[in-house]
């Protein structure tokens, strides 16, 4: 298929591209506590989800993550109200009953005065985490989990098979529970205990597991090629060092605790080692893949949109652009031009991603 056709014809975008875009937007949200920028990131992700989601069951997960984000903000405000001190602000909103604590808990309070500054600080901190969760929810709403697992490298073959089996049986458990409750209602038993419902569901799940295991074994699932022991050890070492480099790089980028060049170097080395380990480990798998998802121009454009949004926010944070962090909770949030432009680039998937097929569920 030509690149032009892949850009215009209705088809499902590669799930990895959606996840890379969503992770880029989450990184952008992690670099700011400005409520204007956080709301803008939330609007951008929500617009892309509304424009490119399908009618699949997982396509409505963005709403669930949005509710989870609101719950996170509420919990953060409640904890801040219970544990905040007068030193966090001077505008007292109300006073809670204070519980006296023992002497070894000096400096910690439970209850007492709740200030406006403390509540706004909790709102901004909780909003940052909530927007990051919504970015992950956008990836869940746009990317098919089964197709994502099918696209895993050969080195992660066993893990992918296990996850696919789990994803296949989890919805079936819900269906079995509904079927059993309907059967009990037809028999006139409107009240049912957890034991009378759970045991038939568990029995059916175990039976299907045994049948699936026998079917997969007869078709050669789990068979791997023989590789030298030294090659397996080298693969494991590359995986460990790669994960360590990625963790150090991501931690340094998110916390600013280390130098920016060191963070990029550690992240690049970690990614290189991880990719090398995946390339070496895929030699153990001799299977072929039926109709793999294409990675064409739309996938590159969607991934680039998230990468640009994240890069602009990271560079703005390193250079100390005014507006990413507020000078105080009562300050009117400014609107920095460069971060706003970077976040708006995240809207590109709504335009460059192929339109979804009507009735497509995978």
Query: What does each of the 362 residues of the chain score in pLDDT, given as a tens digit?
Result: 444 444 456 677 888 899 999 999 998 998 898 999 999 999 999 999 998 888 777 777 888 889 999 999 999 888 887 776 655 667 777 777 777 777 676 666 777 777 788 888 889 989 999 999 999 989 888 887 777 767 766 666 666 666 666 666 666 676 777 788 788 778 776 665 666 677 777 777 777 777 776 776 676 666 666 767 777 777 778 878 888 888 887 777 666 555 667 777 888 888 888 878 777 766 666 666 667 777 888 899 999 999 999 999 988 888 888 888 888 888 888 888 999 999 999 999 999 888 876 545 45
Rounded distance between C-alpha atoms, residue 136 and residue 64, angstroms: 11
In terms of domains, do 248 and 280 share one? yes
Residues 272 and 314 in one domain: no
Secondary structure class of 292 (helix, strand, coil): coil
What's the pLDDT at 249?
A: 78
Query: Does residue 32 sit in the same domain as residue 86?
Result: yes
Number of domains present in the structure of the chain: 3
The owner of tokens 């219970």 is: 82
Q: Are 211 and 240 members of one domain? A: no
Same domain, 157 and 194: yes
Distance of CA 246 to the CA centre of its chain: 17
Give the number of residues written for the chain.
362
Quick one: 311 and 179 in the same domain?
A: no
State residue 183 phi and psi, 5-degree precision: -65, -35
Q: What is the pLDDT of residue 228?
A: 74
pLDDT at residue 128 in the model? 92
Q: What is the pLDDT of residue 26?
A: 92
Q: What is the pLDDT of residue 308?
A: 94
Q: What pLDDT does residue 5 have? A: 45
Residues 94 and 6 in one domain: yes
Domain that holds residue 181: 152-223
Same domain, yes or no: 208 and 194: yes
Report the candidate in 351, 246, 356, 253 with the shortest Cα–Cα distance to residue 305: 351
Whether residue 9 contacts residue 298, with contact meaning beta carbons closer than 8 Å, is answered with no
Token pair listed for 316: 């703005």
Task: Indicate the residue among 223, 246, 261 that finishes a domain.
Answer: 223
Token pair for 183: 């059967």
Pair 358, 11: CB distance under 8 Å: no
Residue where a domain stops, chosen among 223, 253, 268? 223
- The answer to whether residues 348 and 308 touch, using CB atoms and an 8 Å cutoff, is no
Q: Are 234 and 280 in contact (CB under 8 A)?
A: yes
Q: Which of 291, 306, 326 is the last residue in one of the domains?
A: 291
Identify the CA nearest to 28 among candidates 271, 313, 296, 286.
Answer: 313
The count of other CB atoms within 10 Å of the CB of residue 264 is 14
Stated pTM of the model: 0.74
Say how many C-beta atoms besides its own lie within 10 A of residue 20's C-beta: 19
Determine the pLDDT at residue 85: 62
Does 146 share its domain with 131?
yes
Same domain, residue pair 31 and 108: yes
Residue 57: phi and psi, rounded to 5, are -60, -35
Same domain for 280 and 301? no
Same domain, residue pair 110 and 120: yes
């Amino acid at each position: 298929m030509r690149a032009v056709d892949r850009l215009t014809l209705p088809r499902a975008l590669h799930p990895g591209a959606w996840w890379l875009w969503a992770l880029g937007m989450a990184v952008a949200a992690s670099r700011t506590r400005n409520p204007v920028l956080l709301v803008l990131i939330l609007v951008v992700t929500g617009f892309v989800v509304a424009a490119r989601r399908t009618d699949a069951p997982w396509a409505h997960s963005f709403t669930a993550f949005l509710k989870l984000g609101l719950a996170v903000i509420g919990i953060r405000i409640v904890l801040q109200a219970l544990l905040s001190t007068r030193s966090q602000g001077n505008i007292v909103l109300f006073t809670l009953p204070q519980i006296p604590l023992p002497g070894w808990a000096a400096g910690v309070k439970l209850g007492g005065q709740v200030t406006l500054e403390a509540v706004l600080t909790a709102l901004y901190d909780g909003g940052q985490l909530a927007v990051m969760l919504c970015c992950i929810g956008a990836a869940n709403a746009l990317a098919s989990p089964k197709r994502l697992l099918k696209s895993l490298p050969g080195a992660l073959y066993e893990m992918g098979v296990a996850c696919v089996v789990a994803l296949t049986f989890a919805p079936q458990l819900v269906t079995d529970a509904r079927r059993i409750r309907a059967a009990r209602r037809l028999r006139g038993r409107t009240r049912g205990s957890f034991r009378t419902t759970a045991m038939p569901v568990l029995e059916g799940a175990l039976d299907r597991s045994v049948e699936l295991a026998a079917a997969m074994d007869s078709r050669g699932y789990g068979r791997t090629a023989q590789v030298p022991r030294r090659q397996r050890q080298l693969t494991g070492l590359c995986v460990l060092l790669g994960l360590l480099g990625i963790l150090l790089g991501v931690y340094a980028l998110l916390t600013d605790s280390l130098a920016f060049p060191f963070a990029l170097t550690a992240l690049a080395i970690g990614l290189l080692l991880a990719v090398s380990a995946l390339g070496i480990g895929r030699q153990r798998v001799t299977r072929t893949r039926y109709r793999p998802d294409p990675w064409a121009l739309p996938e590159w454009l969607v991934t680039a949109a998230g990468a640009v949004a994240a890069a602009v926010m990271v560079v703005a944070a390193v250079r100390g652009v005014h507006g990413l962090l507020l000078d105080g909770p009562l300050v009117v949030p400014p609107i920095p031009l460069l971060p706003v432009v970077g976040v708006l680039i995240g809207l590109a998937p709504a335009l460059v991603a192929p339109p979804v097929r009507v009735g497509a569920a995978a």
